[in-house]
Amino acid sequence: VALTENATAIVLTGRQPTARSWTVVVLFVSAPVLVVLFSTLWRTPFPLSEAVANFEDVAKAPPSSFLVPDKSYYRPLYQLSLMAIWRTARSVETRLAGIRLLHMVPLACLVVLFIWHTRPRTGLDAAMAAIAVAVLVGSPGFRDNMELPLAYTAVGMPLALAVWVLLNNDPRSWHAPAIIAMFLVAVGFKEQGLVIVPLAAVAWWMGAPGASRRLVLTLVALTLAYVVIRLHWRARWPLFEQSVGLGFGVLDPSKVDASFGFPYWVFAYSSASTVANVLFSEPTRGTFVITNDIVNGKVQTWEVIQLASSAMMTAAIVCWGVSCVRRDAQNWSIESRTFVALLAMLAACGVLSFDYSRDRLGGMALVFYASAAYLALRALAERAAQLNGVRFASVGLLLVSLAAMWQVRAIGTTEQARRTSWRNQTEWLTDVPKRRIDFADRPTYLQIMQSMIPQGIRPGAPEESRYPEWVARTLLPPP
């Protein structure tokens, strides 16, 4: 235990001279996927369907309208950030570049901070860290948060990780104010930021050096104030805001309302769906797509990879996490804390997605899933080194399989980004006339749409690659 603690401490504090070198190695081997991903995002046209309405809001409405929490969606800092960019930049190109950066910089920070946080000490650690990066990038919670310009959770994810880093470091005078500030920013971008409260509570309960009772009480007080403010301005919000995935199908909000007079089990289902999506990549948006294909004998390679890699990784995390908690008893290590933090984040993300399940809503928990994956894989590799013969070969094969499947998923994320770009451009090519009809009574909308047409139809936007069918179906579902 002492040795493990020592090794973990070295890994986390980075005092070992080689830690920086291995961190650079992980950054270097992860760079190809990340460079392709971010260069694709940079060239992706904004979607016609989501972006224009958002920009219309920030172009027209007074700032105070975003501060009053009378709508079911309350994201004041996100909207004020968009507004600041939209109203201060002079040209449409500059505005769109600013909004793109608002989305991409947090995602890039997340990946870099994640790699820095792993601080691999040896080549073996670095290999596991590289797989963990693939876990982060290849998961639905990351993919779904790449959708321009919906940056809300993309901002919250690196903030949650930064809070966790500070909580597990020796306290400094600026840590608590910084954590509170990051909490407020995360909540200001989306209510999912509230998951930072259970994170801090877990850290405090498990003796993390940077977590204090005072800090937790402050965060709880701020949360209560947030809830009171939200309830005070509560208008007549619909019971279900968006379509709800249920079993193998999807129900419109009106149908859910009509079908379920007592909606609490639908809430529970949606919450569980978000949690399961992080752990097993299934269901997606509450719908069991892969299971449906298995039942109907139409299973495809990408589905096998998604399900198998997630199930195997989750099993590895659970085995490792339970053994850590049992081992540590009351003297909690960073490993136990990470495992319990993952459980808390899963529960919190589940609760906050009670109304409908979407892959992106599991994004905050995904950060901790990937962190736990790193520690679990490292422990599994150490365990493999103690085994003989067939057992050694089996665990080694398991690790290689996991690495291969998650790397395929990470590459799939780059293809997903290309597909989104292609879909967005097609929207601009074909849907503008219909929008002119549908939004004829909204001149600001029409004016913004018109100004964005050049970026929407610009030649050379990324599009899905031409791969042989078997390669394409290994990476992604059919379009």
Q: How far apart are CA 138 and CA 390, in angstroms?
A: 30
- Binding status of residue 92 toward other proteins by CB under 8 A: no
Query: Tokens 């797509």 sit at which residue?
Result: 289
Binding residues for other proteins restricted to 188-227, rule: CB under 8 A? none
CB of 167 to other proteins, least distance (A): 30
- Binding status of residue 182 toward other proteins by CB under 8 A: no
- Binding status of residue 147 toward other proteins by CB under 8 A: no
Name the pairing type of β-strands 244-246 and 249-251: antiparallel
Count, residues near other proteins per rule CB under 8 A: 50
Distance between first and last Cα of the chain: 50
Q: How far apart are CA 110 and CA 98, in angstroms?
A: 18
The smaller minimum CB distance to other proteins, of residues 81 and 414, is found at 414
CB of 177 to other proteins, least distance (A): 39
What DSSP line would sit under 373-413, residue for residue? Answer: HHHHHHHHHHHHHT--HHHHHHHHHHHHHHHHHHHHHHHHH
What DSSP line would sit under 86-137, residue for residue? Answer: HHH-SSHHHHHHHHHHHHHHHHHHHHHHHHHHH---SHHHHHHHHHHHHHHH
φ/ψ of 301, rounded to 5, equals -60, -45
The smaller minimum CB distance to other proteins, of residues 153 and 414, is found at 414
CB of 361 to other proteins, least distance (A): 28
The smaller minimum CB distance to other proteins, of residues 287 and 413, is found at 413
The three-class DSSP label of residue 249 is strand
DSSP letter at 182 equals H
What is the x/- site pattern for other proteins, positions 446-465, by CB under 8 A? -------x---x-x---xxx
- Binding status of residue 128 toward other proteins by CB under 8 A: yes
CB of 369 to other proteins, least distance (A): 19
Binding residues for other proteins restricted to 414-443, rule: CB under 8 A? 414, 422, 425-426, 428-434, 436-437
Binding residues for other proteins restricted to 356-395, rule: CB under 8 A? 381-382, 384-387, 392
DSSP letter at 287 equals B
- Binding status of residue 123 toward other proteins by CB under 8 A: yes
Q: How far apart are CA 120 and CA 134, in angstroms?
A: 15
- Binding status of residue 475 toward other proteins by CB under 8 A: no
Q: How far apart are CA 362 and CA 273, in angstroms?
A: 10
- Binding status of residue 473 toward other proteins by CB under 8 A: no
Q: Which of 411, 417, 448, 449 binds other proteins (CB under 8 A)?
A: 411
H or E stretch including 250?
Answer: strand 249-251
The smaller minimum CB distance to other proteins, of residues 31 and 229, is found at 31
Q: How far apart are CA 334 and CA 4, in angstroms?
A: 10
**Contact footprint for other proteins (CB under 8 A):** 29-33, 36, 122-124, 127-128, 130-131, 134, 381-382, 384-387, 392, 396, 399-400, 403-404, 407-408, 410-411, 414, 422, 425-426, 428-434, 436-437, 453, 457, 459, 463-466
